[in-house]
Structures are given as C-alpha cells and as structure tokens.
Chains A and B, each alone.
Chain A
Amino acid sequence: MTWEAVVGLEVHVQLLTRTKMFCGCSSRFGDPPNTNVCPVCLGLPGALPAPNEQAVRLAVRAALALGCTVHARSIFARKNYFYPDLPKGYQISQFEEPLATGGALEIVSPERGPLTVRIKRLHLEEDAGKSFHDRVPGKTAVDFNRSGVPLVEIVSEPDLRSPAEARAYLTALKQVLKYVEVSDCNMEEGSLRVDANLSIRPAGSSELRTRTEVKNMNSFSGVERALTAERARQIAATERGEKIEQRTMLFDAGSGEVRPMRSKEESHDYRYFPEPDIPPLVLSEAWRAKEAQALPELPAAKRERFERSFGLAAAESAVVTATAAIADYFEGFAAKLGANAGKEAWNWVANDLLSLSPDGETIPLPADLAAEVVELVRSAKVSRQAAKRVLAELGAAPADTALAVAQRLGLLQVSDTGAIEGWVWQTLDAHGAEVARYKSGETKLMGFLVGQVMKRSAGQADPKVVNAALQKALKD
C-alpha cells in the first residue's frame, strides 16, 4: 500500500514590538535574566494586564497578509496550567472568537507544484518565561524576560501531504511575515516555533485518521526530518496492524528519532474560559481598512509583477523576490541598467550579487556601484569574468569606484586598436612559419595566434578586438 501523510502546522511567531503584550517591559531578546520584568509580567498579586496596541496592529497585519478575515470583535481567554515559568498559572490567549480566521497561503510543493494551504485561524497570546534545567545543579532556573512577550499562533488546515511540503509552507509563511515586518521569524532565538500534527492514510483517500502532535523541532530542516521519522513510524506501526494513538511525540535532533512524551506530561485540561480582566477586543471597520491599505506588496503579487514587467520565468522571479530587500534592490538595479534590461539585471543579481550576501536577506553592495561594474563590461573595459572579481572587491570595500577597483586589480582590458595592432604585427613577425601554414588553410592556428597576441598584451587586450585585428592583418 502507498501511504500519504496529512499534516497541519501550528506556528508561534513572536511579534516585533518594543514592549510586551500586557505591560511596558522591553521585549528584547538576550538581556540578562529577569531584568525586563514588572508586577504584571511576574504575575504579582493584584497586577492586571493592559493590551499593547502595537501587538494588536502587528497581529492584524499578519492576519491580513495571510488573507484572513479579521473579526470586529474577538476575546481573550485564559489557558490554565501549572508550570514554574508560567507566572500567573495561566496564559492569556484566545480560544473561542479568535482575532482572525479563514486565510490562505500560496506555496510551491516540491511534489505537487504550486498550491494553496488554508489558514484556519490566527490569534494573539502572550509567551511564558523560560526554564533552564542545566544552569544550577539540581535546580531549575527561570528567566521571566520572555514572560508576556506577544505572540501570534497561526494554525493551518491539514492541507499538507508530506514533510517537504511542511517545510515549503514554513518557508513561504516566514517570507510573508518578514515582508510585512511582523516578526523576524528567527527559529534559533525562538521567535518562530513549530508544532506539527501528522496522520497517515492510503494515498488518494480522503479520510482523516488519528493524528499525533510532533514537538521540539528547532529548524525548518528539523521539522522535515521529524515529520519524515514520524511518518515512517506511523506507516510501520499501521502495517504491523497496530493502532495509532493520539499523543505527543518529541523529536530528538541528535538521533533524528521521535519518541512519545510521557502521558502524564500531556494529560492537560486547560480549562479555557474568557479572560475577565480584559474587555473584548473591538476593532472598527475603518481601523481594519486602514491597516489593510498600509500592507506592502506581498511576495506572490511581487513575483507575478516581476514576471510581467521584467520578462522573468516563475522560478527566476522567485529568486529575486526572496526578501523585500532583495526585491527592492533588484528593481532599483534593473532601472539603472535601462529599459528592457530585466533579464540582464536578473543574471547579475542571481549569478553574482546574491553570492555577496552574508545571509541571503540583503545585498550589501549599493546598486549604483553594481551598475558601474555592468557599465565597465558593456564598454568592454573589463571582461565578464573579471567583473566577478571587481564586484567581490567592491562588496568588501564599497568606498571605491568600480573603475578604480578594476584598475587596482589590473583587470582593465586594452581595446585601443593601435596598441593591439602593434602586438599583432609583432606576433606575425615572430611566427612566420605558423602564418604561412594558416594561409595555406590550417585555420585552426587562429587560436594559437590569438593566444600569442594576448601573451604580448599581458592578458589585458580585449579578445574581441584582438580577433578582429588578426583576421584583418592575415588577409593583407
């Protein structure tokens, strides 16, 4: 039997606010433990939460960017459980009546091509603190700096069919959220966290079988590996005739295996109920419309526009729209290269300039400098090959002009016909025998003669000019 996986993802994303969700403490990552805390985020007796307007705005931006319906009225709810890093004994989240529902994300599946993944809901919540079990021997240390940092949880419908598709979804989601500047989506710093639900079924069937939840994944590739392991485990168990139990599996990145969480740890009844300390969140039609209008062009729209305006193929367009910064760069650069230079600009960006990026997010070399280099190639002052070295050098020290760098590196081509003709006549004089053989029909000696001229020019002659001059001289 052929099996297919059915996967849905729950993604937690930290919002790029200056302060926390319900108090004025800084939400900065990496500060000394327990320095960004106050009565509210420590859950001291009598403290009350007051929602952060900027967090609401960013959550709404995320929801709109994902095509969700943002509701005029949503309510906060308490999710109750005991844990040392959860200061109030409950997390303020949303449950019934979330901020937004019913969105969609376009992804490119490695197996099925372009497809739409439905977003079930997006809601606001606060983060918990962080427990450290390895800092003090025999004790647990708790840092509450993260306590109360605003998050959105984005829940997909079970529309994904493989671990690779799950990864493609995450890549696309991260791209959209970064485009709208809602989150930096940094999995290492924990600003993006993923839990996955997976079940299997006979390929092509439409049933939904018992699913498991997979947790503890620290990278997109980890998600793919974890889901591959869990899919294999479920297939093997099912083929042995075992039943899949609904439970939580933990991924071990070291061994690449998944193991079940102790059932004691997962038997939570969160006793959700509406948060009585916060009135319903009411967002006017006008406010929501204003936020929708303030959205930048999203990746899918940008890709399509680039295909149309610059004559790019879909895959090419995707490369230069990877981030908003790269897309802006590409557009500015293409404009500098002149009308109808889209494809030429793409070649430079994709083949030369992106390799200068330390993180794949931005291109460090200013576009006008890069355009100078293109101009040197166009005017045959440097070769296409040499241009790569000029770009690299400029990337490291963008203070120079392109011409100065080419000069310093000795990469300028000589295309002065007078100088080249001199080298040509010297060559023909020195190689009389080869010239005679060439003239009697051995035309393949042309390559040898060009090489000799280049040698006399110490490699700086423009090969095209050399060729033309040689042809002319040999005819005479």
Chain B
Amino acid sequence: MTDFRAAAKGAAARIAACEGKGTHAFLAWSEAALLEQADALAASPAAAAGALAGEVVAVKDVIADATFTTTCGSKILEGWRSPFEATAVRRLREAGAIVAGKTACDEFAMGSSTEWCAYGPARNPVEPSRVPGGSSGGSAAAVAAGAVTMALGSETGGSVRQPAAFCGVVGIKPTYGRVSRYGLVGFGSSLDQIGTFGKDVASAARLLAAISGRDDRDGTTLDRIPLGEPGPAAASLAGTVIGVPREYFPEGLHAGVHEATRRALERMKELGAEVRGVSLPHTKYAVPTYYIVAPAEASSNLARYDGVRYGPRDGGVADVRAMFRSTRGRGFGPEVRRRILLGTYVLSAGYYDAYYRKAQRVRELIRADFARVFGAGVHALFTPTTPTPAFKFGENVADPLAMYLSDIFVCTANLAWVPALSLPIGRDAGLPIGGQLIGPMEGEGTIIRVAQALEQALDAAAEVR
C-alpha cells in the first residue's frame, strides 16, 4: 500500500533542501499543497493502484495546473491560476502521482539557460556557476538535485534534451502527437511537445508512458496504442544498427563532448550494435529554419496576452491600442519581444513566401533526411546532445546567436517530429555531457531500449579525459 503522505513529506524535505542551496528550480510549491494532493490520492483506489502511485513529479510552469500558478516564467501571467489542468497533468495524477510544484523556465519556453525567466534563473545543481540549460532548466535541475525523480518539461527546439544534458539527467522528447498539448501553453504549436525528465532512463520512460495517448482535446495527437512501461535493460544490442550522422560532429567540436560520444559508441559496439556512418545533409539549415517557424507561430500564439481577459493590464492609457502596446511592452521580456518581432516580420505580406513558406519546404527536406536514413535500416541515430557542456551565467545572454546555436543538435528532431532523448554519457571537468538518441517516427520504444542498455554499460559519472 502506497503511503502518499510519507511520499509527500519526503518530497517536501528534498525540495526544501534543493531550494535551500539556491537552485531556484521551483517557481511555486508548498508542503501544504503536496499533503493535500496526497490525501486526495489516498482516497482514490484507482490512484493507489496507478502506475505512478506515490511518485512526486515536478511540472514546468508552461503546463497548466489548477493547484499552482501557471506563469510561464513571464510577468504577463503573474499570479495566473488556470481554471483547468493540462491533459498530461491530469493523466499523471490519475496514475497516482503528486505534482511537486511548478518549475522555473525561460519566459514562454524561449531560451536555453533559464536566464530569461522573469522570476530569476535556476542554477545547475552540479555546478552552481553554470546554467542548468533551458528552457526546461528548472525541471532538469529539480531532478539533478534529487528533489524529485521525475519531471515534466516541454520542447519546441530541444528544451528538454539540452537541460537534461547540462544537468546530467535523462530527458525524452516524444514523437510529435504522442502527448496531448492540451494545457501546454503554446509557443510553436507545430513543434511543441511535452517531454519527460528522469534520474534514469526508466523513470523518464515510465512518466512518458503514463501521459501519452490520444486526446480529443488535441486534434494533433496520434491515434495509437499508448506507450507501454519500459522493460528491463537489455544486456545486448546485437542486431541494432546505430547511425552516426557526420553533420553532428563538426570540426572543432568540444573535445570532452567528442570523447564522451566516442566512448559511448565504443560501448554500444561492445554490446553488439552495428555502428554506421550516415549523412543528414540538410542539418545545416535546421537552426535558421527553426528560427523562422517557431517565432512565426509564437508571434500568433502570444497575441492573446493583451491585458483584456487576464494578467496584469496597464489601464492608465488613452485607448485600447495604447493599452495593448503598454501591457505587452511591459509584460514581455526582451527575448520574447525579439521573437514576436521576428515572427511578425516573417509572416508579413511580401515576406511570407521568402521566409515562412520557404522554411516549411526546408522543413520537409529535413524530415526527408531522417526518413531516408531510417528507411535504410538504421534503428537509431547517436549524436552529442549539445556542442559544449553547460555554459556560465551571462556567457551567451548578450549574443542571441551563440545562445541559439547551443540547440543546433536538438532542434532537428522537433522540426522532423521524430522522438529523441538525451542521457548522461560522462563528465568533463566535472560537467555532465549528454548523448542523444534519435528514433524514427513513433520509435520511442527503440531509443528507450538502446538508452537503457547504454546506461547500464556506461559510468556516466566518470571523467571522459
């Protein structure tokens, strides 16, 4: 019999310890809310028998939840209490899990370090002078700090895998449509997908299994049998073909990252996998394509924050246009404003064909690259998750391009809708390094199986050089 109260109390103590060290993984949490949820679950026989009974799960603040505030890390939603909860949150509660609280993220998930969180950044628990990555940095940090064993994040362009790599935890971005987006505050709707963090592959995979499946409230969800629970780690990868795309190993790749991936590939060979060099020739267009599609959709998705129905409103102005301008000008931070401007520009009359339409065509080519490789017998691709380990606070804030390039290896999977995960594969100078497995459409099962085998065969805490 699950002791929900004990689980809640234990989690409260661990969260308090995590936050006491200045991690700032959470924007909202309380012991009272944890205990209240525990009591409600204890009264529900279904929850007690659920797949996640007694698990405590942290939730990124861009995912709507009726227990805590949902601010999206933005001043424009300061104090916003959603009257409904996201389908993913409802499902994890139905599976018997307790929501730990809401985690820090870059404002509206736009950023790669949580430095754009309007309520202050989260810190990397492994090395507090380093960023935890982003945008789901708070969720990654909460898992890395041991406050929780699982967390929900969201991805538009690598926002789960990149912080997972930086913090030394596991992060899974499922196939587009695997998890309902109902209640996930929209950023780039054709790219957005809720993802999961875990202290190990099985934890992240279990959480994903609990929240996946068709939802009539989100017409883009896949009408498939939901993912099952992960099995035990396989001792062999015999018969598995791992593709290594050369475009993900550019000249001058960080030496530690390079060495860590080489070592991981060796382990996979030792486990019996066939490792094969492949090419995804349109990879170089991924970042520019992403920075047209995502801001375009964001400029529209963020239009609703106008001060009319919710959120703070600047009412001390002459007319409604001025109210919109002032409310939005004050409510949004610089990165969000930059992307709204960029997105508005690429959708404008006269520029649409040159930017948005062309980006959609390039996106098809990127998708076709993956389809071709997976069609030719490759079961999964292996790459570094990020070009470098976690960077320092302030290092990239003044240089948006450098910040954007930290997502160069992860944003392709979002553009192509394929599933991908990051798992820790070693450390360099104490900083975690992540390895990425990318699967074909709906191939979560394959990359989870490979990741579990690799996880068992590797010492991820060891220095790689």
Residues of B contacting A: mostly: loop
Could you mark each residue 330-370 of chain B with 1 if its beta carbon is under 8 Å from any beta carbon of chain A, else 0? Answer: 00000000000000100111001000100000000000000
- Cα A276 to Cα B193 with chains together (Å): 13
B297 within 8 A of A: yes
Q: A49, A90, A272: which contacts B303 (Cβ < 8 A)?
A: A90
Which B residues touch A43, using CB under 8 A? 304, 309
A46 touches B64 (CB 8 A): yes
State which of B1-9, B79-87, B164-172, B271-279 sits at the interface with chain A: B79-87
B320 touches A140 (CB 8 A): yes
Chain A nearest Cβ from B137, distance in angstroms: 20
Which B residues touch A47, using CB under 8 A? 84, 182-183
- Cα A82 to Cα B320 with chains together (Å): 10
- Given contacts A84-B306, A89-B300, A269-B349, are A45 and B80 in contact (CB under 8 A)? yes
State which of B213-221, B397-405, B408-416 sits at the interface with chain A: B213-221
B304 touches A273 (CB 8 A): no
Task: Name the residue in A84, A272, A273, A278 with the highest tally of chain B Cβ atoms < 10 Å from its Cβ.
Answer: A273
- Cα A39 to Cα B82 with chains together (Å): 9
A273 touches B217 (CB 8 A): no
Chain B nearest Cβ from A244, distance in angstroms: 22
B309 touches A87 (CB 8 A): yes
Residues of A contacting B: mostly: loop
Which B residues touch A271, using CB under 8 A? 299-300, 344, 347-349, 352
- Cα A57 to Cα B216 with chains together (Å): 19
- Cα A30 to Cα B419 with chains together (Å): 48
Chain A nearest Cβ from B222, distance in angstroms: 11
Chain B nearest Cβ from A281, distance in angstroms: 10
Which B residues touch A142, using CB under 8 A? 308
A48 within 8 A of B: yes
Which B residues touch A110, using CB under 8 A? none
B82 touches A84 (CB 8 A): no
Chain A nearest Cβ from B217, distance in angstroms: 6
A51 within 8 A of B: yes
Task: Name the residue in A43, A272, A279 with the highest tally of chain B Cβ atoms < 10 Å from its Cβ.
Answer: A43
Could you mark each residue 280-303 of chain B with 1 if its beta carbon is under 8 Å from any beta carbon of chain A, else 0? Answer: 000000000000000011011011
B189 touches A277 (CB 8 A): yes
B63 within 8 A of A: yes
Q: A46, A89, A278: which contacts B184 (Cβ < 8 A)?
A: A46
A42 touches B309 (CB 8 A): yes
Interface residues of A in 259-302 (CB under 8 A from B): 269, 271-273, 276-279
Total interface residues in chain B, CB < 8 Å: 44
Q: B70, B190, B217, B219: which contacts A45 (Cβ < 8 A)?
A: B70
Interface residues of A in 69-99 (CB under 8 A from B): 78, 80, 82, 84, 87-90
Task: Name the residue in A44, A51, A88, A90 with the highest tally of chain B Cβ atoms < 10 Å from its Cβ.
Answer: A44
B77 touches A45 (CB 8 A): yes
Task: Name the residue in B324, B344, B347, B352 with the highest tally of chain A Cβ atoms < 10 Å from its Cβ.
Answer: B347
- Given contacts A90-B300, A277-B220, A278-B219, are A46 and B183 in contact (CB under 8 A)? yes
A187 within 8 A of B: no
A45 touches B347 (CB 8 A): no
Which A residues touch B199, using CB under 8 A? none
A46 touches B217 (CB 8 A): no
Interface residues of B in 171-215 (CB under 8 A from A): 181-186, 188-190
A50 within 8 A of B: yes
- Given contacts A44-B83, A142-B308, A279-B220, are A80 and B186 in contact (CB under 8 A)? no
Which A residues touch B356, using CB under 8 A? 273
B300 touches A46 (CB 8 A): no
- Given contacts A47-B182, A276-B297, A277-B219, are A89 and B306 in contact (CB under 8 A)? yes
Which A residues touch B296, using CB under 8 A? 273
- Cα A332 to Cα B309 with chains together (Å): 54
Which A residues touch B306, using CB under 8 A? 82, 84, 89
Chain B: CB-nearest residue to A39: B84
Task: Name the residue in A88, A89, A142, A279 with the highest tally of chain B Cβ atoms < 10 Å from its Cβ.
Answer: A89
B72 within 8 A of A: yes
- Given contacts A39-B84, A90-B300, are A276 and B189 in contact (CB under 8 A)? yes
Chain A nearest Cβ from B248, distance in angstroms: 27
- Cα A45 to Cα B80 with chains together (Å): 10
B348 touches A46 (CB 8 A): no
A45 touches B64 (CB 8 A): yes
Chain B nearest Cβ from A280, distance in angstroms: 10
Q: A49, A51, A140, A276: which contacts B190 (Cβ < 8 A)?
A: A276
B72 touches A269 (CB 8 A): no
Could you mark each residue 135-152 of chain A with 1 if its beta carbon is under 8 Å from any beta carbon of chain B, else 0? Answer: 000001010000000000
- Cα A273 to Cα B355 with chains together (Å): 12
Task: Name the residue in B70, B82, B300 with the highest tally of chain A Cβ atoms < 10 Å from its Cβ.
Answer: B300
Which A residues touch B185, using CB under 8 A? 45-46
Chain A: CB-nearest residue to B72: A45
- Cα A142 to Cα B309 with chains together (Å): 10
Q: A46, A50, A269: which contacts B86 (Cβ < 8 A)?
A: A46
Which B residues touch A39, using CB under 8 A? 82-84
Which B residues touch A272, using CB under 8 A? 347
Chain B: CB-nearest residue to A42: B309
Which B residues touch A80, using CB under 8 A? 299-300, 303, 347
Q: B189, B216, B320, B347: which contacts A50 (Cβ < 8 A)?
A: B216
Q: A50, A78, A140: which contacts B219 (Cβ < 8 A)?
A: A50
Which A residues touch B320, using CB under 8 A? 84, 140
- Cα A338 to Cα B216 with chains together (Å): 56
Could you mark each residue 180-195 of chain A with 1 if its beta carbon is under 8 Å from any beta carbon of chain B, else 0? Answer: 0000000000000000
- Given contacts A273-B347, A277-B220, are A48 and B181 in contact (CB under 8 A)? yes
Chain A nearest Cβ from B317, distance in angstroms: 13
Chain A: CB-nearest residue to B177: A279
Chain B: CB-nearest residue to A82: B324
- Cα A87 to Cα B83 with chains together (Å): 16
- Cα A273 to Cα B301 with chains together (Å): 12
Chain B nearest Cβ from A42, distance in angstroms: 6
Interface residues of B in 51-93 (CB under 8 A from A): 63-64, 70, 72, 77, 80, 82-84, 86
Chain A nearest Cβ from B180, distance in angstroms: 8
Chain A nearest Cβ from B279, distance in angstroms: 29
B190 touches A48 (CB 8 A): no
Chain A nearest Cβ from B135, distance in angstroms: 16
Which B residues touch A87, using CB under 8 A? 304, 308-309
Which B residues touch A269, using CB under 8 A? 348-349
- Cα A244 to Cα B81 with chains together (Å): 52
Which B residues touch A89, using CB under 8 A? 300, 302-304, 306
Name 22 interchain pairs, CB-CB below 8 A, sorted by A. A44-B83, A44-B310, A45-B80, A46-B84, A46-B183, A46-B184, A46-B185, A50-B216, A50-B217, A80-B299, A80-B300, A80-B303, A82-B303, A82-B321, A87-B304, A87-B309, A89-B303, A269-B348, A271-B349, A273-B296, A273-B297, A276-B190
Query: Apart from A84-B306, A276-B189, A279-B220, what 8 extra A-B contacts exist at CB < 8 Å?
Result: A42-B309, A43-B304, A47-B182, A51-B219, A84-B308, A271-B347, A276-B190, A277-B181
The 6 A-B residue pairs with the shortest CB-CB distance in the complex, in nearest-first order: A89-B303, A276-B189, A276-B190, A271-B347, A46-B64, A46-B183
